[in-house]
Structure 1
Amino acid sequence: MRARDAILKRLRERADGPLSAPDSDFAVVTNRGWSAEERLARFEHWITSVHGEVIHTPHETWTDTLTKVLADKGMRRLALGKQHSVAVEARRALAGAEVELVDVDRDIETWQREQFESVDAGLTSTRGAIAETGSLWLWPTPDEPRLISLVPPIHIAVLDADTLEDTFFDVVKAHGWAGGMPTNALLISGPSKTADIEQTLAYGVHGPRALVVLVRHATTQAEGA
């Protein structure tokens, strides 16, 4: 029996009966009642307040926006996956562009130096976002390992506008986090930042210096965004 199972067994067999969860009132962390427009406005306000950049784009032409972002920022080497639809569409759109596509489905030991020294940007999908805190949430996979959002100088994240939710509690409950999580669930609320002893913020010291969020809308939504 594993140590964890042994501990839980002893707790369940307590002399004064099994433990039960106390009644809890979670109203304070949910039930915001925001509309889709309010959620998007709050998310954008908070993530841009910490130097995140938000770019709205129609879903059908988001790869054109990606191509322009890469060109405007002088990005020449882009790390991305192969299987997720975001990566598949990006690879197709960038096939003839002057951008080298860097495969990430490799053992980190075989390309660690390359990742830290010569990759300009990492492209990832997102599972959604949180309006209350201006946070993206990602579940890394072998196809999109966490390092492509944490190491390259620029992280480009693709977010569908209809996946925003009000609070972190709403995300955890709606997506059944209690029933199973990946090894690492990432909450990203802007580019990397740290502060010195005088509390002066510095960006990009321990990770991406810039975060670009491409918010994809259905055509009618994009026209009004």
Structure 2
Amino acid sequence: MSARSNILAKLRKSLDNTTPLPDDYDVELVTKPWSYPLAERITRLRTLMEAVHTETYLSTQEEWHTRVEQILNERHIGRLLIAPTTPYGQHLIKQWQSRNGTPTLKAYDRPIEEWKAELFNDTPASLTGTLGAIAATGSLVLWPNTEEPRLMSLVPPLHIALLKASEIADNFYTFQETHRWRDGMPTNALLISGPSKTADIEQVLAYGAHGPKDLIVMILKDA
């Protein structure tokens, strides 16, 4: 018998005549202190994210494209990367295609190998949706997929994220429960609390070292 088999046999034998302890874990220990009414969730999320150099705005499902256009014009950004097959991408195409003076929409619609240099060198901003957010920590949750690859939120210097107010969860536990992660964990979920930042040995903080230098969150009210 191998050493591995001996060890496993001893472990199994040690459980003879034992009874498993009941699972009496109190979920409220990690949820109750971090639960908020909806209005407070929005306020807390904005406060925490703005404290780490994130810009947040309130808008609606029908009007957010106007605010996005204003933000890009104020920053003199003329191109925006979108996922054209998503509802948000289709909304921008519909609203901007017949108007003059709107930023140029660039579609993420081909393999990265075909336009890697363009993505890294000539794509100043991107827009993505989100899976939701966590009020307790001030974090967005992104779940990249083939429509919105991870590079969309990682490479362009400015990342604009659209978040439905109704999808802001109190805490990470309730977020996982709502999306039933126990039944199928995402392979590449991202928790984002602000733009990319790092500090050197002298503690000089720099933004944009490993991702977007600027993060803008557009919170979309349901009404």
Give me the TM-score of the superposition, normalised by structure 1. Answer: 0.85
Query: Is 1:104 aligned to 2:105, yes or no?
Result: no
* Inter-partner Cα distance in structure 1 for 2:132 and 2:165: 8
From 51, 61, 64, give the equivalent of 2:63: 61
- State the Cα deviation string for residues 3-58 of structure 1 (Å, max 9, x = none): xxxxxxx89x94547x9996533333212331111111110000000000001112
**1:223 maps to which residue?**
none
1:178 aligns with 2:179: no
Which runs of structure 2 are paired with 1:92-171 in the superposition (5 Å)? Answer: 92-95=94-97, 96=99, 97-171=101-175
1:81-127 per-position Cα deviation (integer Å, ceiling 9, x unaligned): 12221111012222234422222132111111111100011100011
Offset from partner CA, 1:98-157 (integer Å, 9 cap, x none): 422222132111111111100011100011111111111011111100111011000000
Q: % of aligned pairs identical?
A: 41
Gaps of 5+ in 2: 1-7
Paired AA for residue 90 in structure 2: V
Q: Which residue of 2 aligns with 1:91?
A: 93
Change in 2 beyond 3 A, CA 1:107/1:45: same
Larger Cα-atom Rg: 2
**Conservation of the 8 A alpha-carbon contact between 1:67 and 1:94:** no
Deviates more, 1:70-79 or 1:132-141: 70-79
TM-score (norm. length: structure 2): 0.86
The answer to whether the 8 Å contact 2:81/2:127 transfers is: yes
Equivalent in the alignment of 1:27: 28
**CA root-mean-square deviation:** 2.3
Q: Give the counterpart letter for 1:28 in structure 2.
A: L
- Where do 5+ consecutive residues of structure 1 fail to align? 1-9, 220-225
**Alpha-carbon distance between aligned partners in 2 of 1:20 and 1:203, rounded to the nearest angstrom:** 49
- Residue 68 of structure 1 aligns to a residue whose secondary structure is helix
